[in-house]
Amino acid sequence: MQTPISTLTGFIAILVVQIIFGIVFGAFSEYGKELLPAKDGDPLPTNLGSYPHFQDIHVMIFIGFGFLMTFLKKYGYSATGFNLLVASLMVQWALIARGCFEMEDGKIRLTLGGMIGADIAAATVLISMGALLGRTTPIQLLVMGLFEIAIFAANEYLQLEYMKITDVGGSITVHAFGAYFGLAVSFVLRPKKSDLALTNNLEGPSYTSDIFAMVGTIFLWIFWPSFNSALVSGADQERAILNTYLGLAAATVVTFILSVLVSHEHKLDMVHVQNSTLAGGVAVGSVCNLLIHPYGAVLIGSLAGLLSVLGYRYLSPKMLEKLRLGDTCGVHNLHGMPAVLSAIFSAIFAAAATKNEYGNSLYDIFPAMIDSNSTLSEDHHSEPTPFGGYGRNAAEQAGYQLLGIISTVAIAIVGGLLTGAFLKSPSARMIPRDKHYDDEDSWEVPAP
Amino acid sequence: MQTPISTLTGFIAILVVQIIFGIVFGAFSEYGKELLPAKDGDPLPTNLGSYPHFQDIHVMIFIGFGFLMTFLKKYGYSATGFNLLVASLMVQWALIARGCFEMEDGKIRLTLGGMIGADIAAATVLISMGALLGRTTPIQLLVMGLFEIAIFAANEYLQLEYMKITDVGGSITVHAFGAYFGLAVSFVLRPKKSDLALTNNLEGPSYTSDIFAMVGTIFLWIFWPSFNSALVSGADQERAILNTYLGLAAATVVTFILSVLVSHEHKLDMVHVQNSTLAGGVAVGSVCNLLIHPYGAVLIGSLAGLLSVLGYRYLSPKMLEKLRLGDTCGVHNLHGMPAVLSAIFSAIFAAAATKNEYGNSLYDIFPAMIDSNSTLSEDHHSEPTPFGGYGRNAAEQAGYQLLGIISTVAIAIVGGLLTGAFLKSPSARMIPRDKHYDDEDSWEVPAP
Amino acid sequence: MQTPISTLTGFIAILVVQIIFGIVFGAFSEYGKELLPAKDGDPLPTNLGSYPHFQDIHVMIFIGFGFLMTFLKKYGYSATGFNLLVASLMVQWALIARGCFEMEDGKIRLTLGGMIGADIAAATVLISMGALLGRTTPIQLLVMGLFEIAIFAANEYLQLEYMKITDVGGSITVHAFGAYFGLAVSFVLRPKKSDLALTNNLEGPSYTSDIFAMVGTIFLWIFWPSFNSALVSGADQERAILNTYLGLAAATVVTFILSVLVSHEHKLDMVHVQNSTLAGGVAVGSVCNLLIHPYGAVLIGSLAGLLSVLGYRYLSPKMLEKLRLGDTCGVHNLHGMPAVLSAIFSAIFAAAATKNEYGNSLYDIFPAMIDSNSTLSEDHHSEPTPFGGYGRNAAEQAGYQLLGIISTVAIAIVGGLLTGAFLKSPSARMIPRDKHYDDEDSWEVPAP
């Protein structure tokens, strides 16, 4: 049996990756033109109006995800620390990988808009990390992220540029992708039956760690309207904000109610409160800029809270028991299923969309519905022609929304299975089951 | 004796409320016009410039209030969780209740502005919750909130539209209302004398819980300038920001000094630091957009810190001893008295306000001072005529400011007493005194 | 031997200071003109577009620094509380002290811009506090801050107005100044050799306190782009944001790698993760608006992470051993050395700056490079003439950048030594070594 490479060697490999990123930035990237000094004439308009939105998302990625994962009693260093490490490498990689699809003059042009995209891409990896939390080395997480961002960037381009699906909150391209990718990796890394008995008792919260996790939950909850609305503007943006706000509020109320209904002795369960309250934000993601009306946002949010609590209560234990499929943070219940729900609703609302209701914004939201003879399509002439060409009708667009979620989940699962196989190679150090969920594997920890 | 309804039944009742809200949103609400696609002509201007202010307030409501209340050693799940639950139901109810006063074509028009108003309304209930913290079931809090938002919305409309008082930071309509409403409920729910001996030892902090509470305190402190300035614009807004900043800084310094002066062995008391430092923000609330000048902000903030620490040190223990009136978070010292102070200063500065000093902004701040023959009053023709008609002089406006705080406190107390009586009905489950301040009453708690 | 003044007397002295500040605000300050009502004509433009940037910085000062310092196991009340107290007094003092250099009509004009400057000035004192954390009374910190802000404000004016150095992120004027000032104070207050054996075991983290510290670290990390870009606008601002983002991401990756390389058993060390990850933000501070290109940001950030981890691992223990020079938070490694690195890079990039590359923005960034005969210099006619006059060439500007860091460090050290001597006077209460790093010295602490 091959000896796995040591932690030290692993980190040196990451150093090589960081150096390569530096070289790529030097050779193939440059500031976006609006970041350069104006030589003559007026300066180009900047994108600084998006900066408050960016900062809200930045809080979600680094505080939100980081602290949400502190719920395990002895994994708080890893949760906050690995989150910071993984996201820091991933945003650089995402700037490069996503930038490859939009090069100008052979250069990746870096802008604030690209930073927003990079943060959102990093979220995808952090979601996958949630499925695996406590069972991998940081090197495994980083390697997983390197694979995942590449596949993510390609799929995002496929869905938004060729399939022309609408998904402003990223439910399909981010949440579904990240969740099913992570679950597929987790499946490959599942324990042997013979190892199941081997366990420490660290897969659970302490009173204090549960409250730290609420820091993450609540910041995610607060800034989710910014996440869902960052890529739209004007009336669409204000609508995305309001719909997400309503969806989250309704999901939260329903989560508490369901938690009491299904839990032991009708007491509230912190797992539900920390996670299912957020499912409303995922579930309105693909539709938040559509005319779903306030009751639609409340309905979708409520269904997401319901689905998510039921998932935590009944489905996750079954997946663990029958498939040995671990999902530490329950990303299937917070991100996976609510994202599929969002995609289904996006198909329903796409099927119902009319020019009469949406005015010309119909073609901003669903550019493939532009009549192929219309001059409007010329605004998109620098983009690839949509699959099936311009001139889709509403039912066709609905079909593409469904195709979008199906193909995304398929790509995520295949990508995750392949990535998992790589992570399981004999050269990768695996954490033995009795050292899972324990900061001591990676950190110097003070004596209690 | 009637059996109280179970927790389960209570939560099912809340489910019914949530479903009713969904139906009301469907039947009686719609997006505000600026959130709808432009059909022809230019799109309406959005209110998105307020979004960063909204997000600051959102952090205050969900992180600020939630974590401020985590100071009890075994009530952190409830503090953060019930805060999230109560606020999530209340923002929906506030969108509806406040919207009823401004319907267009039979519809409540939902906008970002309404979300800001809904968050602020929720703060009122969270303040009241602070008075009761640890002694009620979540169902009691939710029911209290349903009553309170209805009365709050009516009183807010009365004070701002008919009384035409100035109160941009909500010291009168939010802080005083919430504090005295909560205290009135707490008074009705006070323990019987015979039960006083029955106690556990959970009404106090642990070292860790006190630091969690500082997360709440500091975020409230940081974003208070946004709370006080969200409803004004231009020079008034920048003035409101600066005055609140100075008021908070001065209150903080005075709080630390007073804490040392009055505390045991001249050591600092975390209760003062967590709460009285914020009293400066309350105390400048009603006057922060007036020309109180920097020294005025420092003076008012300092007085608030002084008053608040003295309240915690001397008044609250007396209220508990003489009246059995519990006030877990000391909302009387943080919100109640500083809000009254703010109202008094608003009367003083209103009495001194002149056209010469304020220019035309005088009539934006005090619309009832518009000369009744002036064309300026036409800008307000869609609003109800102020009590006493237009053409108030400065002294009259000062009188209305005082009437505003007196009537608000009176309405809050009467409303709170009636609400308390309802919450004490035999059908409501009460938490026995020896289970107070304990997450185990409502939550599954991990073994230590 | 003189009896030191008591804590009570010390706080009363601070009360006198606060009262004096109130009087100074009354006698010598007024709202900035754009905060006053427009009397006739259009209102002046406000600076409210900077408000989101201000709030990000505000979070850094009060949450970021406050929680970063909670890492000690029994010093969390002091870390968050003294941070709040010190910053609250310092922002008032900074409004006054910095305002003295820009009085109009004998009045300090207070604006949002001044608030941003005051918050940044307070950061300087909080950095110095980091060097001393746990070894001084709060009164000593406040007195130190009163001296430090005065010297800081004079040096800031010297560097920016006379030396005309570029330092938009404050690496020179804030980070280097604060670090070396604090280290000089710490040196004066170093223990006698005979006292070295006397110790409690509180200078270290607990598992929980380390996670609280991550709240501070991550919020500092998130909002550092706002800190570095607050004082520029347009393309320069977006460039400062992007460069800081890249610098931080690269510093973070390198910090983790180096931590594994140099730490015991190749495990990660939370000290590095909490601090060295931020060194990238310091190191790009003076150059973030220059055309350092994306690879430059990655390179500088990486070097900062490297330097900082090596400093924590090898240099700080030596300073403590050889010089008895304590640096509780390691501000030399987080702020001091990375700031010197930033200054060196600012000289390098200044030397390479050409009109061809920067266009007219060259003269905004380096105003002393304006040709003395050019009409552009008239835009600066209200400012003092730069040392050496206008018309500097690039090499000369580089020299001034180096002179800027050298003179700043020299002034900070001399100022710190003198301040330290004052703090060590017989009338100042010193905390005995066996009571260091312990909240019980200043706070009422609940029994465990």
pLDDT digits (tens, 9 = 90+) for B125-136: 999 999 999 999
Mean pLDDT along residues B381-406? 93
- Rounded to whole angstroms, the Cα distance separating B42 from B53 reads 26
Distance from the Cα of C227 to chain A's closest Cα (Å) equals 12
Assign residue B59 the CATH number of its domain. Answer: 1.10.3430.10
Which of C51, C108, C119 to probe by mutation at the B interface, max B CB count within 10 Å?
A: C51
Q: Which pair of structure tokens corresponds to residue C270?
A: 């939370």
CA–CA dist B139, B404 (Å, integer)? 31
pLDDT band at residue B377 under the 50/70/90 scheme: low
Closest CA to C58 of C149, C141, C122, C136: C122
Residue C380 has pLDDT above 90, yes or no: no
Please tell me the distance in Å from A361's CA to the nearest CA on chain C: 29
Q: Best residue in C68, C241, C291 to probe A by mutation, most A CBs within 10 Å?
A: C241
pLDDT at res. B427: 87
Read off the pLDDT band of B2 (50, 70, 90): low
Chain C contact probe: residue of B201, B224, B257, B284 with most C CBs at under 10 A: B257
pLDDT in tens, B198-242: 888 899 999 999 999 999 999 999 999 999 999 999 999 999 999
**Has residue C33 been placed in a domain?**
no
Give backbone dihedrals phi and psi of A388, rounded to 5 degrees, phi first.
80, 0
B contact chains, 3+ CB pairs < 8 A:
A, C
Instruction: Say whether pLDDT at B58 is over 70.
Output: yes
Structural domain boundaries enclosing A148:
52-191+205-374+389-434
Single-letter residue type at C108: I
Q: Which tokens belong to C119?
A: 């918050």
Question: Which pLDDT band holds residue B398 (cuts at 50, 70, 90)?
Answer: very high
Count of beta carbons in the 10 Å neighbourhood of residue A100: 15
Is the CB of residue C285 less than 8 Å from the CB of residue C175? Answer: yes
Question: Can you tell me the mean pLDDT for B96-122?
Answer: 96
Residue of chain B minimizing CA distance to C93: B249
| Cβ atoms B432, B407 nearer than 8 A | no
CB A219 to CB B37 under 8 A? no
User: Do the Cβ atoms of B149 and B96 come closer than 8 Å?
Assistant: no
Under 8 Å between Cβ of C347 and C401: yes
pLDDT the model gives residue C3:
73
Please list every residue in chain A whose beta carbon sits closer than 8 Å to the beta carbon of residue C261.
8, 11-12
- Judged against a pLDDT cut of 80, whether residue B143 lies above it is answered with yes
C9 CB contacts (<8 Å, ≥6 apart)? none
pLDDT tens-digit series, residues C185-214: 999 999 999 988 888 889 999 999 999 999
Mean pLDDT to the nearest integer, B407-411: 98
pLDDT of residue A2: 64
Nearest neighbour of C211 by CB, restricted to A7, A111, A212: A212
Using an 8 Å CB-CB cutoff, list chain C residues near A46: 234-235, 237-238
H or E element in which residue A14 lies: helix A7-28
**Statement: residue B324 has pLDDT above 90:** yes
Q: Among candidates B231, B289, B298, B294, which has minimal Cα distance to C37?
A: B289
> CA C290 → CA A47, A108, C161, C167, C347, distances in Å?
19, 19, 19, 10, 11
What is chain B's alpha carbon radius of gyration, rounded to the nearest angstrom? Answer: 22
- Tell me the pLDDT tens digit for each residue of A31-47: 999 999 988 778 899 99
Q: Which of C73, C218, C265 lies nearest to residue A62, judging by beta carbons?
A: C218
pLDDT in tens, A393-443: 999 999 999 999 999 999 999 999 999 999 999 888 999 999 999 999 999
Are B335 and B322 in contact by the 8 Å Cβ rule? The answer is no
Does the interface ipTM go beyond 0.90? yes
Q: How far apart are CA A217 and CA A213, in angstroms?
A: 6
Task: Answer positive or negative: Cα dihedral of B329, B333, B334, B340.
Answer: positive
CA distance B422 to chain C (A): 37
Residue A255 DSSP class: H
Q: Do A266 and B58 touch (CB under 8 A)?
A: no
Residue type at position C444:
E
Handedness of CA A112, A117, A120, A126 (dihedral sign): negative
The Cα of A208 is separated from the nearest Cα of chain C by a number of Å equal to 8
Confidence tier at B413 by pLDDT (50, 70, 90): very high
- pLDDT band at B410, cuts 50/70/90? very high
- Decide if A119 contacts A61 (C-beta within 8 A): yes
- Structural domain contains residue B14: no
Q: What is the pLDDT of residue B255?
A: 98
Sorted by sequence, the CB contacts under 8 Å of residue C109 that are 6+ apart come out as C29, C30, C31, C32, C33, C99, C102, C103
B323 within some domain: yes
Q: Cβ of A34 and C245 within 8 Å?
A: no
Residue C394 structure tokens: 């690039």
Q: Which residues, 6+ apart, have CB-to-CB distance to A60 below 8 Å?
A: A123, A219, A220, A223, A224, A226, A227
Nearest CA in chain C to A87: C249
**H or E, element range at A109:** strand A108-110
The DSSP output letter for A226 is H
Q: For the residues of B110-134, what is the DSSP string, one character each?
A: E-HHHHHHHHHHHHHHHHHHHHHTT
Give CA–CA dist B447/C319, Å, rounded.
45
Tell me how far apart the alpha carbons of residues B398 and B349 are, in angstroms, rounded to a whole number.
8
Reduced to 3 states (helix: H, G, I; strand: E, B; else coil), residue A145 is: helix
Give the nearest partner residue to C359 out of A39, A48, A115, using CB atoms.
A39
Q: Which amino acid is at C189?
A: L
Q: Is residue C89 part of a domain?
A: yes
Which chain C positions have a beta carbon within 8 Å of A121's beta carbon?
Answer: none
Q: What's residue C377's pLDDT? A: 64
For the segment A172-225, what is each residue's pLDDT rounded down to a tens digit? 999 999 999 999 999 999 999 998 888 888 999 999 999 999 999 999 999 999
| Min Cα separation B214/chain C (Å) | 7
In sequence order, what are the beta bridge partners of A107? A104
Q: Rounded distance, CA B94 to CA B349, Å?
A: 31
- With respect to residue B348, please indicate whether it lies within any of the assigned structural domains: yes
Taken as a whole, chain A contains a residue count of: 448
- Sign of the Cα torsion C131, C134, C136, C137 reads positive
Residue A146 lies in a domain: yes
Q: How many angstroms separate the CA atoms of B215 and A428, rounded?
A: 40
pLDDT at C289 over 70: yes
The Cβ of residue B20 has, within 10 Å, a number of other Cβ atoms equal to 12
Interatomic CA distance for residues A270 and A184, integer angstroms:
26
User: Quick one: which of A186, A89, A88 has its CA closest to A130?
Assistant: A186
CB-CB contact of C298 with A22 (8 Å):
yes
- Got the DSSP string for C384-397? PPPTT-S---HHHH
- Distance CA(A100)–CA(A97), nearest Å, equals 5
Answer whether residue A446 is part of any domain: no
pLDDT number for residue B383: 81
First-to-last alpha carbon distance for chain A, in angstroms, is 37
Contact B238 C47 (CB under 8 A): yes
Distance of CA A108 to the CA centre of its chain: 23
Pick from B51, B88, B448: which is nearest to A252 by CB? B88
Q: Residue A39: CA atoms inside 13 Å, Cβ hemisphere, count?
A: 4
Q: What single-letter amino acid sits at C32?
A: G
Phi, psi of C189, deg, nearest 5: -85, 10
Which pair of structure tokens corresponds to residue C92?
Answer: 């008032």
Mean pLDDT of C118-127: 98
Under an 8 A CB cutoff, do A37 and C358 touch?
yes
Query: Does residue B105 register a pLDDT over 90?
Result: no
d(CA A264, CA A45): 57
Q: Contacts of residue C264 in chain A, CB cutoff 8 Å?
A: 444
Q: Which neighbouring-strand residues pair with A278?
A: none
The answer to whether B315 touches B333, Cβ cutoff 8 Å, is: yes
Q: How many CA atoms lie within 13 A of C36 on its CB side?
A: 15
- How many residue pairs from chains A and B have C-beta atoms closer than 8 A? 178
Minimum distance, in Å, between the CA of residue B108 and any CA atom of chain A: 11
Beta bridge partners of C443: B268
Binary contact (C18, B302; C-beta < 8 A): yes
Distance (Å, whole) CA A64 – CA A216: 4
Q: What's the gap in Å between the CA of A256 and the closest CA on chain C?
A: 27
Q: pLDDT tens across B3-49, in order? A: 778 899 999 999 999 999 999 999 999 999 999 998 877 889 999 99
Tell if the CB–CB gap between A26 and C295 is shorter than 8 Å: yes
* Token representation of residue C304: 């900062």
Whole-number average pLDDT of chain A? 95
Is residue C382 scored above 90 in pLDDT?
A: no
Q: How remote is the C-alpha of C242 from its chain's centroid?
A: 21
| Site from B31, B57, B90, B115 to mutate, A interface, most A CB atoms within 10 angstroms | B31
| HEC letters along C172-240 | HHHHHHHHHHHHHHHHHCCCCHHHCCCCCCCCCCCHHHHHHHHHHHHHHHHHHHHHHHCCCCHHHHHHH
Q: Which residue of C has its CA nearest to A29?
A: C294
B-interface mutation test, from C14, C31, C78, most B Cβ less than 10 A away: C31
Three-state secondary structure call for residue A87:
helix
Q: How far is B331 from chain A (nearest CA, A)?
A: 23
Tell me the backbone φ, ψ of residue A107, rounded to 5 degrees: -120, 140
The number of folded domains in chain B is 1
- The share of chain C scoring above pLDDT 70, in percent, equals 98
The pair of structure tokens assigned to C9 is: 């007397």
* Residue C163 CB coordination number (10 Å): 21
What parts of chain A have a pLDDT lower than 70?
Answer: 1-2, 377-378
pLDDT of residue A389: 92
